[in-house]
Chain A
Amino acid sequence: MSSGQAATAVIAGIGACLPERMVKNEEVSARLGLPDDWIRDRTGIEQRYVIEPTGATSDLAVGAGRQALDSCGNPDVDFVLLATCTPDQTFPATAPAVAARLGLKGVAAFDVNAACSGFIYALTIASSMIQAGAFRSGLVIGAEAVTASVDPHDQITAPVFGDGAGAVVLRRGGPGEPGAVLSQVMGSDGDLLDILVTPAGGSRQRAAGVPTDIPESYLRMQGRLVYKYAVKHMTAASETVLAQTGWKPEDVDWLVAHQANRRILTATARAIGVPAERAVVNVDRVANTSAASIPLALVDAMAEGRLSPGDRILFCAFGGGITWAAATLVWPDLPPAAAPAPPVPAASAV
């Protein structure tokens, strides 16, 4: 896909949401019987935000979606795409409930499950829907309550994941207007589904009649293979979109990669050829929030004054499936980002 002379879909607003409860490494380390610096040394993570047991992904999605809509004057939107691999329930999709709670009852709404690659997948799908002419505007949300499916006593996953949401509003734009996806690539390899999987709860391993705390109901990760394939595919996908856009690695102002852990970020930046100081990093503050990580990183970078209109941005991500994706865009002129909103519980949703 190239910008050409066709209509584009440009980012018009952005928002984020984080649970109120912040959990420092010390609490996780104590639970797992690890030294205090173990998690930071291996992952670069210092803390994560964890949703309350009564909360759900939709509460985070509504918080981020509301803030994104408010940031650009609460425009009409024609659809809501929710990127998540931790929906409120396996059926139905969570996006319709999010849309209704945002006052958008009646619009097209569906979930996109590409795990940690979900935000780029959803952004690409949404851009295509607007470019095709059938829709004028849309809300793209990445939201996850990952900790709800993580075994708190698993040394591999418990230190790594956190909860949160980020959202962007897309509107139809003119040719060459900043804020539109210039080039994208999405890919998958289902032969590797076992390296990152929650085995139970679907039709393969059914949940009916089975206790919810069996090991198969928790997220499992083969860390070594995830690391190997994450760096490999994020690098290849990034090189593809850079070539399609006509950018060299040194043209990239900001690499905004999925915040899996600092080691994967550093290795990917090095492999692509983007200097480490050009990689946006907030995994230290929010941990791995799956589909929420890229918009959360964007909001963080905006708050620190690091993103300027006209900056050339490279997105890349890797997740369960396995899936991967990358995209390029030129950063638009947006109002300053607000601090991430708190979750909006279902009863008080607007």
Chain B
Amino acid sequence: MNTTLDRVNALVLKAVPELEPGFAPSDSFADVLDVDSLSVVEIMTNVEKEFGFDFEDEDIAHVQNVQDILDILQREQ
């Protein structure tokens, strides 16, 4: 069974296909993975569709890595 982490990682790779799999939840999108800000929005839009909720604007502005997304998902569920 896919964990939430697996599902989020898959959504990251869907938005940024050139990314090497195997990144860590704590890896910074901007500083470590070189994912630009508009790709972060695409990742978050993918997460919204998959998990059926809308991020707050504050979340969209401040998410730095996959762990931040997991924390918000836990808060929402």
Residues of A at the B interface (CB closer than 8 Å) are: 41-42, 222-225, 227-228, 261, 263-264, 267
Across-interface contacts of B41 in A (CB, < 8 A): 224, 227-228
Which residues of B (15-37) have their CB < 8 Å from a CB of A?
A: 36-37
CB within 8 A of A42: which of B38, B57, B61?
A: B38
Give residues in B with beta carbon < 8 Å to A: 36-38, 40-42, 45, 57, 60-61
Chain A nearest CB, measured from B46 CB (Å): 12
A223 to B36, CA, bound (A): 10
In the complex the two chains form, is A223's CB within 8 Å of B37's CB? yes
CB pairs A–B below 8 angstroms (12 shown): A41-B36, A42-B38, A224-B37, A225-B60, A225-B61, A227-B37, A227-B38, A227-B41, A228-B41, A228-B60, A261-B38, A264-B38
Cβ–Cβ < 8 Å partners of B60 in chain A: 224-225, 228
Question: At the interface, is chain B mostly helix, strand, loop or mixed?
Answer: helix
Residue of B with least CB distance to A262: B38
CA distance A225 to B45 in the complex (A): 12
Complex: A227 Cα to B41 Cα, angstroms: 8
Chain B CB within 10 A, most for which of A41, A222, A227, A261? A227
**8 pairs of A and B residues whose beta carbons are closest in the complex:** A223-B37, A42-B36, A263-B38, A227-B41, A227-B38, A224-B37, A224-B41, A224-B60
User: Smallest CB–CB gap between A224 and chain B, Å?
Assistant: 5
Beyond A223-B37, A224-B60, A227-B38: 8 further Cβ-contacts under 8 Å? A41-B36, A224-B41, A225-B60, A227-B41, A228-B57, A261-B38, A264-B38, A267-B42
CB-nearest residue of chain A to B45? A228
Nearest CB of chain B from residue A267's CB, rounded to whole Å:
8
Most buried by A among B38, B40, B42, B57: B38
Q: Which residues of B contact A264 (CB under 8 A)?
A: 38
Residues of chain A within 8 A of B40, CB atoms compared: 224
Residues of A within 8 A of B45 (CB): 228
Chain A contacts for B42, CB-based, 8 A: 267
Closest B-chain residue to A156, C-beta based? B37
Residues of A within 8 A of B61 (CB): 222, 224-225
- Least CB distance, B11 to chain A, in whole angstroms: 16
In the bound complex, how far is the Cα of B29 from the Cα of A42, in angstroms?
A: 14
